[in-house]
Amino acid sequence: MIEVRNLTKTYMTHERGHTLREVARNLIRRPMKEITAVNNLSFTVPQGEMLAFLGPNGAGKSTTLKMLTGVLHPTAGEVRALGLTPWKQRREYVGKIGAVFGQKSQLLWDIPPADAFYMNKAIYGVPDAEYRATLNELVDLLEVGDVMRKPTRQLSLGERMKCEFIMAMLHRPQLVFLDEPTIGLDMIAKENIRGFIRSMNRQGVTFILTTHDLEDVEMLAERVIVINHGTIVFDDALSGLKSRVGNKKSVRLTTETAVPDLQLQGLRIAERLGPLEIGVEIDTDLLPLKNFIREFNDSYGIADMEIQPIPIESIMKELYLENAEARSEAAVSATK
C-alpha cells in the first residue's frame, strides 16, 4: 500500500544568534547550515496495518509524515502510496487519504461540527446517500449524536477530537494519518478514540500514527518504527522492542540495612528512594533473579520487594540515548 525507498530530505536554514552582538553581526552576514531532517528511509506498509512512528522531538517524524501526505517534496527517494506519488499527484492523493492532527483543528470554532462536516462533504464531493450512511455509522460509533449540533467551542477536548475524526473519515479514506491524536485527553476519552481507531482498522483502514504517548503505541500499533536523527533505528513489532533490550527487570526493594554503591555484573542502581529503599535494574541473563534475591537477602536483609518488567518508557529512553551516543562516538572518531 505504501512503499518508501531511500527517502531523504535536507534543507538549509539560517543560524540565528542570541546575544545582541550575534544579532548585530547577523545583520551583515547570515550563516547558512544544511540540515538533514530525514536520511535515506526505506520501508513498506501493507494494507490494513497500524503503524506507529516514534522518536524524540526533532527526529524527523513530522518531516517524514509530511512527505507521506504529499505536502512536502523530498530531496531524494521515492514513495508510492495508493498507487500514486503523493507530492506529484497531490490533489488526487489527498482526496483519498484522511488526516487528524491533535493540535491543528479542521473544525470551525464557532459553529457546530455538523456544519463543518457538511462543508467537507462538498469539498470531497461525497454523494448524499454515502455521506448520510457514513455519518450515521461514525456518529453511532463515537456517540456524538447530540454533541455535533453544539458549537465547537462549547465541546470538551474529547468530544472535539471525536468530531475531528469524523471530519477526517467522511470521505472513507483507506489510509489515515494521525498526529498526536490523543494529546491532552483524559483516560476515558483516550480509550474511546483508541477503540474507534481499532474498529476502523478492523474494517481495513490503514493507520499511520505519530505520537509521544507510548500507551497509544502499546494499545494500537502492531508495528513500530523508531526514527532518530533522521534514520530508522528500529522497525519491528512492539514485542521486539521489549526483547531488544534483553531480559531486564525493574526491582524496587526495601532493605534492613542500607545498600552501598556496589559494582555487580548485571545490576544497575537506578534510583535511591530513601535510606533503605532503592530501585534497581537487573539483566537476568547476567544475574539470575534467584541469585540476586539470595545475595541481597544475605547482605542487607530484604524487607519488601516488587518486581516488574522494564517499562516501555525506559526502553525508549535507552533507544534514543543509545543512538545519540553512537553518533557522538562516530563524530569523535571522525575528528581523530
Partner 1 sequence: MRRLAAIIRSIGFATYKEWAAFRSHMAASLLVGPVLFLVQVFIWSAMFEGRDTINGLTYSQMLAYYGVATLIHYIAFDFADWNLQMLVRSGKFVTFALRPLPHWLFALSQKIGHRSLALWIEVLPVMALFIFVFGVNLKPASPFWAIISILLSFLMNFIVNYCVGLTAFWLVRAEGVRRVFLLLKDVSAGVFLPLSFFPEVLQKVLFFLPFQFITYLPTRVYIGDYELAGIRLSIEQAVGLQAAAVLLAGAIMLVLYGAAMRRFTGVGV
Partner 2 sequence: MRGIIHCLGAVLRTKLAEQMAYRSHFILSVLLLVAGDLVVPFVTLLIYSSGASFPGWSMHEALLIQGVFALAKGIAFPFFFGMVGTTLHHVREGTFDLLLLRPRPVMLMAMLTGFDPDDFGRLFSGAVIFGFALSGMSQPALGAWLQFGLLFIAAIAILCAVSLFLSGMLFRWVGSSRVFDIFDAVTSFGMYPGTIFAKSLQNLLTYVLPVGLIAFVPATALLGRSGLEALWTLVPVSLFLLLGAVYWNRMLKGYTSAGG
Residue 110 vs 304, nearer CB to partner 2 = 110
Please count the residues of this chain forming the interface with partner 2, following the rule CB under 8 A.
Answer: 5
The minimum distance between CB 37 and partner 1, in angstroms, equals 9
The correct pick among 6, 14, 16, 136 for binding partner 2 (CB under 8 A) is 16
The minimum distance between CB 89 and partner 1, in angstroms, equals 11
What grid cell was written down for 113? 461540527
User: Quick check: 59 and 212 in contact, CB under 8 A?
Assistant: no
C-alpha to C-alpha distance for 69 and 208, rounded to whole angstroms: 11
Residue 33 vs 290, nearer CB to partner 2 = 33
Near partner 1 by CB under 8 A, which window of 102-110, 212-220, 223-231, 258-266?
A: 102-110
The minimum distance between CB 130 and partner 1, in angstroms, equals 14
C-alpha to C-alpha distance for 16 and 32, rounded to whole angstroms: 9
Instruction: Check residue 66 for interaction with partner 1 (CB under 8 A).
Output: yes
C-alpha to C-alpha distance for 162 and 169, rounded to whole angstroms: 11
Near partner 2 by CB under 8 A, which window of 18-26, 68-76, 116-124, 271-279?
A: 18-26
Q: Find where cell 483519498 sits.
A: 96
The minimum distance between CB 122 and partner 1, in angstroms, equals 4
Instruction: Check residue 72 for interaction with partner 1 (CB under 8 A).
Output: yes
C-alpha to C-alpha distance for 152 and 147, rounded to whole angstroms: 9
Please count the residues of this chain forming the interface with partner 1, following the rule CB under 8 A.
Answer: 35
Instruction: Check residue 106 for interaction with partner 1 (CB under 8 A).
Output: yes
Instruction: Check residue 12 for interaction with partner 2 (CB under 8 A).
Output: no
Residue 29 vs 91, nearer CB to partner 2 = 29
**142, 254, 260, 272, 295 from 275: Cα distances, Å:** 50, 9, 10, 7, 19
**100, 208, 210, 213, 229 from 242: Cα distances, Å:** 29, 21, 19, 16, 21
CB-facing half-sphere around the CA of 46: CA atoms within 13 A: 2
The binding site for partner 1 (CB under 8 A) comprises 11, 63, 66, 69-73, 87, 90-92, 94-95, 97, 99, 101, 104-106, 108-111, 115-116, 118-125, 151
